Copies of this chain bind each other. A is one copy, B any other.
Amino acid sequence: MKFGGTSVADAARIKRAARRIVDKRDSGCRVVAVLSARGATTDELIAMAAEVSDTPDPREMDMLLSTGERISCALCAMAIHDLGHRAISLTGSQAGIVTDSSHTRARIIDVRAERIVSALGEDHIVLVAGFQGVSTSSSDVTTLGRGGSDTTAVALAAAVGAEVCEIYTDVPGVFTADPRIVPRARKLSVVSFEEMLEMAASGAGVLQLRSVEYARNHGVRIHCRSSFEDCPGTVIVSEGENMDHAERPLITAVTHSTSEAMVTLTGVRHKPGVAASIFEALAEAGVDVDMIDQNVPASGGGLAEISFTVPRERLRDARAALEPLAGGAFSELTAYEEMGKVSIVGAGMRSHPGVAAKVFAVLAAQGLNIEMISTSPIKISCVIPRDHVESVVRALHDAFELSGPDTIMAEQPFATGGTL
């Protein structure tokens, strides 16, 4: 069971999570629970670091940030004791989450779950601080990056052979679109790993991308559900498992992002190594590039155009990284700051041609040019101006008839983190 920041935001919610954990234990399950930092704790700690240093050291950042989850776990263990159950809280290190040494974005390389297993054997409920681990090289505290607690939960589920990894969050599950934009969006009961990966990568905030990858690679069944109500959420499983192919819809969901920036480089010398030098410079600056498009105008005299998207907050870094190459690898850089991305995702589109055509028709009906397109066998993404994102999401949701008869209306406000 994994509880996110909003699910442990204050004493009342910690007690509610404790109750939920104890109920699960009472139903006969052995429980390992992974907790995030309470509410805004991580942001507060980051703000503190910014007050003392312009460029906080990553190792020290991890020492700082890892405290939030420990606080949540200790408090929840106390609350569980008060409910008459045995509980023990463990740091990432104590729980055996071994990572590499990439501070602030470490990757789990091993899970040594002996202590968890022995605590479960002693009838303890085990609470594990999410988002953190310990590096092999120097026994330092590491963190897994934003949303890393999902990955902690999936990794522990794999290590202890859990029946299911339940991710409790502030939304009731995975929806066909963001219910704040599409009120008739439908909660999905089952999604495949592949679809969930595409959705997480294209804007669905409900699960961290890396946790879905980890779950797919280790065959961990994820159940993503509400921490505030007790009804089933969305189960994420291997394709084929529990998924009725006959009834599979063409499209599973519409996802979106409104935080894109697009960069177009013109006058790019069209010869081997030039494009590589451009994207190497971005990689060295730690800027994640999402979509890339290159074309060589027939009239361009051997010069190409390259466009790509980056998260809007990284645009400044991207510009700085490319500046030294201006006049050499390319002649001019143009940035489009206010962009968004709309995607449709569905394993069903593999066997159905014509999906792309339908998407383009919907966009054309809105009078929109598509700035960039990127496709995978189960996804089509379009970059469009940010202020058209909402209307396009609604139009696509309608066009692909994603509102079913069993539409579940959103009953509580949705946090930004849980977009879909």
Contact = CB atoms under 8 A, between A and B. Distances in A.
Contacts of A71: 45, 48, 64, 67
Given A57-B81, A71-B45, A14 B52 contact: yes
A71 to B, nearest CB: 6
Contacts of A225: none
A73 interface: yes
Nearest to A47: B11
B75 A48 contact: yes
A94 B140 CA distance: 8
A53 B74 contact: no
A11 B52 CA distance: 5
Interface residues on A, range: 35 or more
B77 A57 contact: yes
Given A51-B11, A94-B139, A73 B63 contact: yes
Given A73-B63, A89-B63, A52 B15 contact: yes
Interface string A207-250: 00000000000000000000000000000000000000000000
A70 B73 contact: no
A155 interface: no
A67 B91 CA distance: 11
A64 B74 contact: yes
SS class of chain A's interface: helix, strand, loop or mixed? helix
Given A67-B67, A70-B64, A139-B94, A75 B88 contact: no
Interface string A19-50: 00000000000000000000000000100110
Nearest to A18: B52
A27 B141 CA distance: 31
Interface string A84-113: 000111010010000000000000000000
Contacts of A55: 81-82
B94 A78 contact: no
A73 to B, nearest CB: 7
Nearest to A50: B11
A85 to B, nearest CB: 11
Give the residue among A59, A63, A89, A94 with the most B Cβ atoms within 10 A: A63
Contacts of A63: 70, 73-74, 77, 89, 91
10 contacts: A11-B48, A14-B52, A15-B52, A48-B71, A48-B75, A49-B78, A60-B74, A60-B77, A63-B77, A67-B71
